[in-house]
Amino acid sequence: MSVTTARARTRRGWRSASTWFGAVIVAIAAVCAIFAPLLMPHDPFAQDLGKRLLVPFWMEGSNPAHLLGTDQLGRDYLSRLIYGCRISMLIGVTVSVVSGLIGITLGVLGGFLGGRADDAVLFAITTRLSIPVVLVALAVVGLLGSSMTLLVATLGLLLWDRFAVVARSTTMQVRNLDFVAAAWCAGCSRFRILAFEVLPNIASHLVVVATLEIALAILLEAALSFLGLGVPPPLPSWGLMIAEAKDYMFFSPWVIVIPGVALFVLVLGINLLGDGLRDTFGARSDS
């Protein structure tokens, strides 16, 4: 007998509030990403050395044309922030799609077929987990030069492990359920079972993983760009903005605070949304 106490009810309520908060953040980010050219007050690449390091609006002596101030080359911070949002979201989503395709395929095949195939998939996952991801990503970009395509491909080829693990475990659970056995008995081919019985039932878990992977990809890209081996300059990745501002952070701390806060809030929002989705779908096994 599970009795819903008042405490448990308020906890679920809190969950929804934070989930909605996350959803709002993600929505704002998506709007910024899609409508960036319309929302940016200035050209994010336009330099104006006469207007270097202007302060944001909450400090004395700010310029109303540049709400968040300018960076060390006179570029409008707000515009770069919005464009950076587009870059982060773009990378996050595309990496998630690539790694999702790889990971889900591997996980479903391993979980469904079992035996040798499963052993091979587990081996691949174990190997992937032992590879130092940041280092390898840095090495690839360092050796082959930075470009968006290369970055997405590299991260996509490195971040599929959680997809694979969750796809595999959920497929194994579903495979053992009665309705799959019923379909099998009814003469359905393995492909049909996979497509119509297994995949729809694991989809919700994978959506949760996808949101968390987007957040992870965004953080990784920021770290790589911070080290100068991520998104190619002059594209205003938030990580790159923080790196460029490092030399000035002692005198003008807002130059690293602003993009950092943006990064933090976006990742937090995505995580909250992912957690909320996980609670909605009742999937507790994905952490």
Partner 1 sequence: MSALLEIEELAVSFGNTAAVRGASLSVERGETHCLVGESGCGKSVTALSVMNLLAPGARRSAKRLAFEGQDLLGLSDSAMAHLRGNATAMIFQEPMTSLNPAYTVGSQMTEVLRRHRRTSQRAATDRAADLLARVGITAPGLRLGQFPHQLSGGLRQRVMIAMALMCEPKLLIADEPTTALDVTVQAQILRLLARLQRDLGLAMLLITHDLGIVARVAHRVSVMYAGEVVESAPTAELFAQPRHPYTQGLLRCVPVPGRIKRDEPLGSIRGTVPRIGPGFEGCAFRERCDWADETCRHAIPRHRASRDHGFLCRLPA
Partner 2 sequence: MLQFFVRRLIVALLVAATVMTLAFVLTRLSGDLAISIAGPNATQADVEAVRKAYGLDRPLIVQFFDWVRRAVTGDLGESYFFKTPVSSLIAERMPVTLTLGLTGLVIALVVSLPLGILAAVRENTTFDRAVQVVALLGQAMPSFWLGLLLMITFGLQLGWLPISGTGSWEHYVMPGIVLAFSAIPALTRLTRAGMIQAMGSDYIRTARAKGLSRASILLKHALRNAAIPVVAIAAVQLGFMLGGSIVIEQVFALHGVGFLAWESIGKNDFPVVQAVVLVLAVIYVALTMLADLMNAVLDPRLRSS
- Interhelix angle 161-175/199-226, rounded to 10 degrees, is 170
Residue 272, token pair as written in the block: 């909250």
Residue 204, token pair as written in the block: 């919700």
- Binding segment for partner 2 (CB under 8 A), chosen from 97-105, 134-142, 159-167, 189-197, is 134-142
**CB burial class (10 A; 0-12, 13-18, 19+) of residue 31?**
middle
Residue 136's binding partner, choosing from partner 2, partner 1, none, with beta-carbon cut-off 5 to 8 A by kind?
partner 2
CA neighbours within 13 Å on the CB side: how many for 226?
Answer: 15
| Interaction of residue 127 with partner 2, rule CB under 8 A | yes
- Other C-beta atoms within 10 Å of 262: how many? 20
Cα separation, 144 vs 245, in Å, equals 26
For residue 207, CA distances in Å to 173, 202, 274, 283 come to 17, 9, 8, 11
Residue 186's binding partner, choosing from partner 1, partner 2, none, with beta-carbon cut-off 5 to 8 A by kind?
none
Cα separation, 88 vs 81, in Å, equals 10
Tell which one of 34, 97, 117, 257 touches partner 2 (CB under 8 A): 257
Residue 3's binding partner, choosing from partner 2, partner 1, none, with beta-carbon cut-off 5 to 8 A by kind?
partner 1
Interacting positions 230-249 with partner 2 (CB under 8 A): 239, 242, 246, 249
Residue closer to partner 1 (CB basis): 13 or 142? 13
Interacting positions 199-228 with partner 2 (CB under 8 A): 215, 219, 222-223, 226-227
| β partners of residue 7 | none
| Interaction of residue 264 with partner 2, rule CB under 8 A | yes
Cα separation, 88 vs 90, in Å, equals 5
Tell which one of 40, 267, 277, 283 touches partner 2 (CB under 8 A): 267
Residue closer to partner 1 (CB basis): 5 or 149? 5
- Interhelix angle 148-158/199-226, rounded to 10 degrees, is 130
- Binding segment for partner 2 (CB under 8 A), chosen from 79-87, 104-112, 189-197, 251-259, is 251-259
Residues that bind partner 1 (CB under 8 A): 1, 3-5
Tell which one of 61, 64, 132, 282 touches partner 2 (CB under 8 A): 132
List of residues contacting partner 2 (CB under 8 A):
5, 7-8, 10-11, 14, 123, 126-127, 129-136, 138-140, 142-144, 215, 219, 222-223, 226-227, 229, 239, 242, 246, 249-250, 253, 256-257, 260, 263-265, 267-268, 271-272, 275, 287
